[in-house]
Structure 1
């Protein structure tokens, strides 16, 4: 009885440690503190691994397998933290290790595509995204990621086609939808909260593509759509502000730069853009 009670307490302590560290890691990751996130994800993963070992030792196979699933999830998060830190080879090693165990995971194939693209291995990256799409054919996020690779390769027609497919795809998960209250007169005329797909990233890259083609009006429209989906989409705020500045819409550009600086206080380019807008408005 004493041994069973001791084991139960050990499992409880380990589980609490894992959950606390995992929660901290998610917060660190969202804040862009990737070193801290990596350390916390590592601690959570280690705790889950100890739990799995204890459960298997006691013959609790099903519970042990559940803990191993959490180990893989933690390892995947470690891989993405390494990716954000620019430690691409280490990230790729983790992704490939997970794929050996979970070869039918669209998430891990998509992660592999991200890392390979960062390494400049674009053809292999496209293959990884194709594999991810074979497992989840209508994923807007995977389609967008594939389109970004085409864009970086200079294959603009294929990129545009892929972005349009992503925008036409119906989101499947609640996290793919967003209820937003528009904040900017230029970016939305609708003043009521609206439910729309969270496709800001797709519209942002579509805007970049139109900029590459020299089609500024279409680019501005794309950035507007991005900000209607997510009014805090930092890159769209900045690029939209720059484009509005170019066409002399200084008041709207000022709003973009001011919001950019609120989200990213150290952004020198946004600071300069805001100061330029202030000068033009006061002329």
Structure 2
């Protein structure tokens, strides 16, 4: 049996086997598979041996999601038949609702989850996302702060705080929140890309270019964590825009082409390409790119 690890951005699988010492294939690939793991006795999350903090002589290790006690994975069969506590059920239902865009409907479920279990860090973070998504930004920030009090290592809470600050048109505080996420998870590229966008929007184009170059280096190094499917294309899109703003049109073109070829259709990439081509005197190509940009923008 294979289980997923609930540790943030962990790609290891947990191999559960009755073979003494564990499945030999899994044992030969420790970066891909864990043999030892722990289970949260409250929410049921599984954590590989690299993704949970050690306990102490007097205190069992705790789940960063809900604060529950972690117990040995050897108890998997015993625990698998247990119904999850009400707070965990409310949280799970809220996540399902939010996955279908029903943020308002999710809020009562999350309110109940944190009422029943105030130490439920992930429920506070998810509640903050739902609040921000329904325009209740000040309440969302309070929910993220509560999540971070309970789990100071939650980089995602900082990222969501940053997004809420942006919706409130408070870019300096958004940058500070992204900086906190980056300090916690230096290998997490998304906040570095988003930070570069804010810098560029604020006219700090050279700083934005340096920031997005660091993100691209991270993504191409193979050491990035939590990377999304289009992160590298998005980083090239931002870099191309920064180069155009800095007047470095010839350098911008291959960067923008990478974003176009590897990311989702974006009218902005084609517009930037058109502008760079026009500045380089390549008018016919510029008009073709502008036509694509206008078509995408109006679709």
CA gap 1:22/1:123 in 2 versus in 1, 3 angstroms:
closer
Q: Aligned residue for 1:101?
A: 150
* Long gaps (5+) in structure 2: 1-81
Output the aligned Cα RMSD. 3.7
Equivalent residue for 1:199?
232
| Unmatched 5+ stretches in structure 1 | 1-7, 29-36, 57-63, 179-196, 261-266, 272-283
The normalised TM-score by structure 2 is: 0.56
TM-score by structure 1 length? 0.59
Residue 164 of structure 1 is matched in structure 2 by 213
Displacement of 1:135 in angstroms is 0.7
Give the CA deviation at 1:165.
Answer: 0.1
Task: Confirm or deny that 1:140 pairs with 2:189.
Answer: yes
Out of 223, 227, 230, which is 1:176 matched to?
Answer: 227
Secondary structure of the 1:223 match is helix
**2:248 counterpart (210, 215, 236):** 215
Deviations 1:40-86 (A, max 9, x none): 33144245447xx3xx7xxxxxxx96xx245234213214414xx4x
Give yes or no for contact 1:200–1:233 (8 Å, CA) kept in 2.
Answer: no
Shift of 1:230: 1.5
| Bigger share in helix | 1
Q: Deviations over 1:222-271 (max 9, x none)?
A: 3322222313346435655676788333445444544x2xxxxxx5xx36
Q: CA 1:245–1:155 in 2, change beyond 3 Å: closer, same or farther?
A: closer
Change (3 A) 1:117 1:10: closer
Does the 8 Å contact 1:42/1:74 carry over to 2?
A: no
Structure 1 residue 231 and structure 2 residue 296: aligned?
no
Aligned length, in residue pairs: 212
1:26/1:164 Cα in 2 relative to 1: closer, same or farther (>3 Å)? same
